[in-house]
Structure 1
Amino acid sequence: MTETNVTAPEIKAVPETMTAAFDDFMGAFEAFREANDRRLEEIEQKLTADVVTRDKVERINRALDDQSRVIDQLALKKLRPQLGGRSSIADTERKAAFDAYIRRGDESGLRDLQAKSMSNSADGEGGYLVPDETDGEIGRRLSAVSPIRGLATVRQVSGAVLKKPFAPTGMASGWVAETAARPETATPDLTELSFPTMELYAMPAATQSLLDDAAVDVEAWIAAEVDIAFAEQEGAAFVSGDGVNKPKGFLAYDRVADSNWAWGRIGYRATGAAGAFAASGPSDVLIDTIYALKAGHRQNGTFVMNRKTQGEIRKFKDGDGNYLWLPPQRAGEAASLMGFPVAEAEDMPDIAADAAAIAFGDFRAGYLVVDRMGVRVLRDPYSAKPYVLFYTTRRVGGGVQNFEAIKLVKFAAS
């Protein structure tokens, strides 16, 4: 068999701009389409694909994933802290005081500001609130690397728990004439949803010489050190956390076949094969899952899956030979599947027997992230000499707030 000239793209150097990375990604996708079309033709003609062609498709598929990671990394670099900009005298004063505390352990400036504002910036466990700029920077970076946070509703609270009333059956209403009496409507059933915030911490370390270097932006350094650590922990919790000392992920709730769905559970559609898509019409389950949502949620729907699962779906075509998975239209946008955006969440499980490897839903309506205001830093120069530790904490909670807004694809016979 004559081998096609399509070869897997090689990433010889990391592109310096988002545009260059996106161009490389689109080039890889065109190579993937050509190789996969060849594979499908071989299957139609010989009922099997040549091993060389199959391996080529997988290599290009992995190259697409590598290119996507490069784009993600460049997107994060664009979110680095602003070193300049306008700020009030109070903001500048607080930043200077915080800088002195981080570099030298000098608390006097922060204590003076605390006395002036008649507020208590240090809690019973010690530590100080970081300046607003750093707090906001950590939040922005978390949104970029934690896809569920970026999709969900985020609420800030000043207390330890957010309690939210919810009417599963909706509010009662009725039609009346202009001058007719207004009879009292039935009392709706209300459910109280409780979202406690749990402590998330990171402890970056620095040498005193690094802190003494005036050229080092210590606020940017702290944000850079803790954002990935926080994002990895909370990203996993939003997906599969058990709710014990962490947020409860949407995969941790009871699951039930969508035909038997009830409030408090997450409905799923089965692929029809254990640990795989169905041999015939593999994409049918995706269509069924999309239309399992009500129209109001469906129009805001997003697919959530990891890279491996997306690599499998990338090969699917419709009856007219069009690929169901399409690359983003421009740099910074998401890929789409059947017209709906795809969010990559590496904490989603791989395709396996009984695994819920794909989620689809209106996560803005379905999942709630609760942030307690403020990020605290406690400077510890004693525990790990000669390093200075920075015990950094924030409090985060989360859970499903609308159980009909999220559906799952379960890789099972039923």
Structure 2
Amino acid sequence: MDYEIATTAPETKAGFAPADRDAHDELLRAHEEFKSANDERLAALERRRGDVLLEEKVDRISDAIDARLKRIEDFALKQARPQLDGRRVETIGASREHKSAFEAYIRSGDASPLRQIETKALSVGSNPDGGYLVPEELERSIAARLGAISPIRSLASVRQISGSVYKKPFMTAGPATGWVGETAARPQTSSPTLDALSFPAMELYAMPAATATLLDDAAVNLDDWLTGEIDTVFAEQEGAAFVSGDGINKPKGFLAAPTVANAAWSWGNLGFVATGAAGAFPASNPSDVLIDLMFALKPGYRQNASFVMNRRTQAAIRKFKDNNGVYLWQPPATASGRASLIGFPLADAEDMPDIAANSLAIAFGDFRRGYLIVDRQGVRVLRDPYSAKPYVLFYTTKRVGGGVQDFDAIKVLKFGGS
């Protein structure tokens, strides 16, 4: 069977996308082939004569599964993209006026209509960073696309803010409680312990370039073009920061938090479960550490938890079975769904580290309660026709921050002895 993946996607017509269903069907077939080939490999190992060809076949099918998952994600992303063409009806005159003024600025550099709009709105027409606010429709489109592309953003809590810093008090220890009789005295309880968490919004920028021909072409939808140019760049930068950002001029990733053995967990740290083997799963019953990781999380968090890892780590766990011979990794049940591991959703985050000595390659938790992303309202664009003649640059900025908001809601698997 040939496992090469076509490089061109089938055509989508009349608003339907049969290609994503075909890709999902191909994924299910590839997974069945993978299970069959891996069972052969395991049988050969039990007979104490490994088969190199079988090993290569299993790896090849595993790569094909990854490629089909990527195709499904691409199709889902296209479907999630909002329509920004001129056929959409604007119901608010101010929005229509802003959209028209913004297009005039992008095409010709005429900023006077935008300046008037922002002056009327009592906002700064050109702040120290420069540029003008994009229309709300375009800002919503960018946010929707980022949510579809970025795996952590799709799992975490997202909050809109108007200032530069969001401060959130969090109760690390609640007030004491107890049972008393109807007429018994009520002793004074201890006060709750609060921790103030700060989430500063850092500047993220992209600088797409356009030719004069593109800007002069009235048939080109500039909103659509700008969104397509910046969404992937923003999502890639955000994804890396939400996972491992150091908090310096960027969000602080959850893997940047201090870690301690889960048995010694305390507020301000992420608890980890160790595999017991440096850079590897245990030699016997390797999937047991995944179960340990799951149950390191409290039940209140576990019911909404997800696994997070990259594709290379997925390839390693795709061969694991439970005691009944059922594979722990399962493909998405639908074309728009996620793969699952031991019954929990699995998010594919390429910025997660690979399996290596002492690496934290797998995370498990309720990320909606555990990680907070803050978006400062407003995306700004500054048109620059001078720095890269004959091209026109569009310096596009947004402010975003992030960090762990509940250190008990996320656990990690450490590939080491302790």
Matches within 5 A, 1:170-319: 170-175=174-179, 184-319=188-323
Q: Residue 120 of structure 1 aligns to a residue in which SS?
A: coil
How far the C-alpha of 1:77 sits from its partner, in A, is 1.2
Between 1:364-373 and 1:165-174, the stretch displaced more is 165-174
Instruction: Tell me the alpha carbon deviations over residues 325-345 of structure 1, each in whole angstroms, 9 at most, x when there is no partner.
Output: 111111110011111000000
Instruction: Tell me the alpha carbon deviations over residues 106-146 of structure 1, each in whole angstroms, 9 at most, x when there is no partner.
Output: 11211222233343354233211101111111111111111
Q: What residue in structure 1 maps to residue 61 of structure 2?
A: 60
How far the C-alpha of 1:179 sits from its partner, in A, is 6.9
Amino acid in the other structure paired with 2:158: V
Would you say the 8 A contact 2:313–2:361 is kept in 1?
Answer: yes
Would you say the 8 A contact 2:174–2:191 is kept in 1?
Answer: no
Instruction: Tell me the alpha carbon deviations over residues 188-246 of structure 1, each in whole angstroms, 9 at most, x when there is no partner.
Output: 11111111111000000101110110011111111111111111111000000011111
1:85 aligns with 2:88: yes
What CA distance in whole angstroms lies between the structure 1 residues aligned with 2:102 and 2:189? 56
What CA distance in whole angstroms lies between the structure 1 residues aligned with 2:183 and 2:196? 37
Q: What residue in structure 1 maps to residue 15 of structure 2?
A: none
What CA distance in whole angstroms lies between the structure 1 residues aligned with 2:181 and 2:162? 46
Amino acid in the other structure paired with 1:78: Q
Amino acid in the other structure paired with 1:43: L
Q: What residue in structure 2 maps to residue 3 of structure 1?
A: none
Matches within 5 A, 1:14-413: 14-16=9-11, 17-46=19-48, 48-82=49-83, 83=85, 84-87=87-90, 88-175=92-179, 184-413=188-417
Percent identical: 61
Q: 1:285 to 1:332 in 2, by over 3 A?
A: same
Instruction: Tell me the alpha carbon deviations over residues 68-99 of structure 1, each in whole angstroms, 9 at most, x when there is no partner.
Output: 11111111111233123231222111111100
What CA distance in whole angstroms lies between the structure 1 residues aligned with 2:177 and 2:350? 43
What CA distance in whole angstroms lies between the structure 1 residues aligned with 2:252 and 2:123? 33
Instruction: Tell me the alpha carbon deviations over residues 7-38 of structure 1, each in whole angstroms, 9 at most, x when there is no partner.
Output: 35222343442111111111211111111111
Would you say the 8 A contact 2:81–2:144 is kept in 1?
Answer: no
What CA distance in whole angstroms lies between the structure 2 residues aligned with 1:345 and 1:120? 38
What CA distance in whole angstroms lies between the structure 2 residues aligned with 1:97 and 1:171? 55
Instruction: Tell me the alpha carbon deviations over residues 341-391 of structure 1, each in whole angstroms, 9 at most, x when there is no partner.
Output: 000000000011111100000000100101111110001111111111100
What CA distance in whole angstroms lies between the structure 2 residues aligned with 1:262 and 1:169? 11
How far the C-alpha of 1:184 sits from its partner, in A, is 4.3
Q: What residue in structure 1 maps to residue 4 of structure 2?
A: 10
What CA distance in whole angstroms lies between the structure 2 residues aligned with 1:307 and 1:324? 15
What CA distance in whole angstroms lies between the structure 2 residues aligned with 1:132 and 1:367? 26
Instruction: Tell me the alpha carbon deviations over residues 292-337 of structure 1, each in whole angstroms, 9 at most, x when there is no partner.
Output: 0110001111000000000111110011110011111111100111
What CA distance in whole angstroms lies between the structure 2 residues aligned with 1:324 and 1:36? 13
What CA distance in whole angstroms lies between the structure 2 residues aligned with 1:171 and 1:141? 42
Would you say the 8 A contact 1:8–1:31 is kept in 2?
Answer: no
Length-normalised TM-score, structure 1: 0.95
Q: How many residues align?
A: 407
Amino acid in the other structure paired with 2:114: L
Q: Residue 375 of structure 1 aligns to a residue in which SS?
A: strand
Q: Residue 386 of structure 2 aligns to a residue in which SS?
A: strand
Q: Residue 105 of structure 2 aligns to a residue in which SS?
A: helix
Q: Residue 98 of structure 1 aligns to a residue in which SS?
A: helix
Q: Residue 399 of structure 2 aligns to a residue in which SS?
A: strand
What CA distance in whole angstroms lies between the structure 2 residues aligned with 1:237 and 1:54? 36
What CA distance in whole angstroms lies between the structure 2 residues aligned with 1:178 and 1:137? 58
Structure 1: segments with no counterpart, 5+ residues = 1-6
Instruction: Tell me the alpha carbon deviations over residues 233-272 of structure 1, each in whole angstroms, 9 at most, x when there is no partner.
Output: 1100000001111111111111111111111111111111
- What do you get for the CA RMSD once the two structures are aligned? 1.5
Length-normalised TM-score, structure 2: 0.94
Q: Residue 370 of structure 1 aligns to a residue in which SS?
A: strand
Q: 1:254 to 1:115 in 2, by over 3 A?
A: closer
What CA distance in whole angstroms lies between the structure 2 residues aligned with 1:375 and 1:42? 58
Q: Residue 78 of structure 1 aligns to a residue in which SS?
A: helix
How far the C-alpha of 1:182 sits from its partner, in A, is 5.8
Instruction: Tell me the alpha carbon deviations over residues 279-301 of structure 1, each in whole angstroms, 9 at most, x when there is no partner.
Output: 10100000001000110001111
Q: Residue 348 of structure 1 aligns to a residue in which SS?
A: coil
Between 1:305-314 and 1:17-26, the stretch displaced more is 17-26
